[in-house]
Amino acid sequence: MTNPSVSKDVYSTRKGKVAIVYATDYLNKNSGEKVEYECQRHLSSGYKGLVISFRETKIVNSIGVSILLGIIESAKNSGSQVVFSEANQQTISLFEMLGLTKHVKVAVDENEALRVATDEEKSLG
Amino acid sequence: MAEDIQKFLHTFSALADLGQEIADTSEFNEMASTSLHLVLGTLAIMRGAIGEYQPEYGSIRLIAKRNLDKNLPTELLLDYFENRELCEMGITTVVAEESESKVLDFVTNNNEWLNDAKIELVMPLVVRGRLIGVILLGEKASGENYTDQDKAVLSSMARHIGVGLQERRQREELERRTREIKHLYDGLRAIYRDTVRAFAAAIDCKDKYTQGHSDRVGKYCEIIARELGWEEEEVEGIMIAGYLHDVGKLAVERNIINAPYRINAQESSELNKHPMVGFEILSPIRHPYADIPQAARSHHERIDGRGYPEGLKGDEIPIGAKIVTVADSFDAMTTDRPYRRRRSLEEVLEDFQRNTGKQFDPRVVVAFFRAMLKEITNSNVEKRFRRLLGRDYMNTDTLAMKLQNLITEIEGHKTAVAA
């Protein structure tokens, strides 16, 4: 079942026991806070698998990184797994350079992300 | 190499964003929160906080925090010596570990808190030798230690954040003080107004037949000034002038003021001193509004020069005094006196019709009666005349027409004179 939840530009869906949050083309303070809000909403609803899709994302700035770290920390505290999906090469390089990839799984597309998140959810559950 | 360039670009972009944030007009807490995001995001630091030094409490209060345990206290103690020590270090970073050769007293004394919060770096925010606050930072997401290059970047950011926080705090303090002064000023003005009204009541008490006269004159003056489009400050000033216009009567014998007959020439001469006496009473006072003494002095002048005490003509009479004259005369005609009943509104209008251009300034008379006309023809206008004169007194079918005729005639006469 899919429950699209739209907040202007950032939106999210739920596929099975996994929530997917779609970031915008530029992950800065404004859009980052919306991503964080959506993620927190799903985490507090008990979702153990959380995919953040960077399908549309071209740039992630420092504030965006800080917000993602907050999401990672919240997910850890609630025993959930975060999967970054469909990030472009530049964004993946940034995440690797800064060490974010040590805390999340990275998937090349949404199917893989869902699979990883579901596997993780099962292992955590 | 490519990674170095990417790191440089990411850091450079963060510094540019920080500069913009500091130059922006966001409020204090918003700036602190965004600055913390920028610091954490630049090096991907898992957690951190910005604390503001509160000299009055000898503590550091956390004003922005990310990913810290919610149960941790939001204040850390900081005594005078710790403050001095942090200041002397300038903008630098200190590893909060026992292995470091120099551990700050602040770190030692707050060791439990820093450990619970998983803080690794303490960066003092110092501006011109004064401690503004601290930035507390946790581990890097990469798990690597902070390099000298990292510390140089953080020091640079801390310097900017310190200046930004201080500037905003000073601005907020200035705004707070401005609001406080405005509040005090408004309070003083209210006290001044209440005192003046109490004084006006005291003046009127001397004359048992004209109780409330000064208060009503003040209110009529306000109506006229508003109709003339005066600024709020000026409206308030002329209202005060109306309240105080008869203050000189305090020096006139009570039996003259209260005489139940038309007073004789000698008594009249005594009574006619009250404008000058009023001027002398009011002149030494530093009123917050202009021309209050002058309005008291000249409110019995006539524009044809036949008034007293100085026989001023036309524009020699201040506009404030001209307003008080109209208000004073209107109230005198529309209230009972010891030797006569009050006149009907029709009679009053006829009196103004006859004496405008002689006793009264046409602009002031027109403004006064236009305000009255607005009140009786527009249900949305506050019924001030009705309250001051009584409902029955205003209940005349033809009043609107008479007022309109009076205004038209005076304005027509003004135009003809000007031509």
ipTM: 0.90
Going by pLDDT thresholds of 50, 70 and 90, the confidence category of residue B92 is low
**In sequence order, which residues have a C-beta less than 8 Å from that of residue A38 and are 6 or more positions away?**
A5, A7, A10, A11, A12, A19, A21
* pLDDT: which is higher, B22 or A111: A111
Tokens at B83, concatenated: 């403050």
Closest to A64 (Cβ–Cβ): which among B7, B41, B43? B41
Going by pLDDT thresholds of 50, 70 and 90, the confidence category of residue B193 is confident
What is the Cα gyration radius of chain B? 37
* C-alpha distance from B12 to closest chain A C-alpha (Å): 10
CATH numbers and ranges of domains, chain A? 5-124 (3.30.750.24)
DSSP string, B272-316: TTHHHHHHHHHTTS--SSTTHHHHHHHTT--TTS--SSS---GGG
- ω into B309 cis (within 30 of 0): yes
Average pLDDT over chain B, rounded to whole?
88
Query: Quick check: B67 and A65 CB within 8 A?
Result: no
Say whether B206 sits in a helix, a strand or coil: coil
pLDDT in tens, B295-319: 999 999 999 999 999 999 999 999 9
Cβ–Cβ under 8 Å, residues A107 and A101: no
* C-alpha distance from B158 to closest chain A C-alpha (Å): 15
pLDDT score, position B84 = 86
Going by pLDDT thresholds of 50, 70 and 90, the confidence category of residue B81 is confident
* C-alpha distance from A29 to closest chain B C-alpha (Å): 8
Average pLDDT of span B306-335? 96
CATH numbers and ranges of domains, chain B? 2-176 (3.30.450.40), 208-418 (1.10.3210.10)
Which of A27, A98, A100 has the most B C-beta neighbours within 10 Å, making it the best mutation to test the interface with B? A98
Packing angle between helix B28-43 and helix B2-23, nearest 10 degrees? Answer: 180
The answer to whether residue B74 scores a pLDDT higher than 60 is yes
Which residues share a beta bridge with B175?
none
pLDDT score, position A1 = 37
Average pLDDT of span A105-113? 95
Average pLDDT of span B240-259? 88
DSSP state of B250: G
Going by C-alpha positions, the residue among B364, B330, B352 that lies closest to residue B227 is: B364
Going by C-alpha positions, the residue among A81, A70, A73 that lies closest to residue A105 is: A81
Tokens at B91, concatenated: 């903008």
Inter-chain CB pairs, A–B, below 8 Å: 74
User: Chain A contact for B231, CB < 8 A?
Assistant: no
Closest to B37 (Cβ–Cβ): which among A29, A73, A94? A29
Q: Return the exposure string of B108-123: e unless at least 16 CB atoms fall within 10 Å of the residue's CB, then b.
A: ebbeeebeebbbbbbb
DSSP state of B339: T
Closest residue in A to B1 (Cα) is: A97
Query: Which of A47-51, B40-44, B201-205, B247-251 has the least mean pLDDT?
Result: B201-205
Average pLDDT of span B235-242? 94
Say whether B125 sits in a helix, a strand or coil: strand
* Whole-number Å distance between alpha carbons of A38 and B99: 42
A97 contacts on B by Cβ (under 8 Å):
3, 6-7, 10
Going by pLDDT thresholds of 50, 70 and 90, the confidence category of residue A6 is very low
User: Chain A contact for B147, CB < 8 A?
Assistant: no
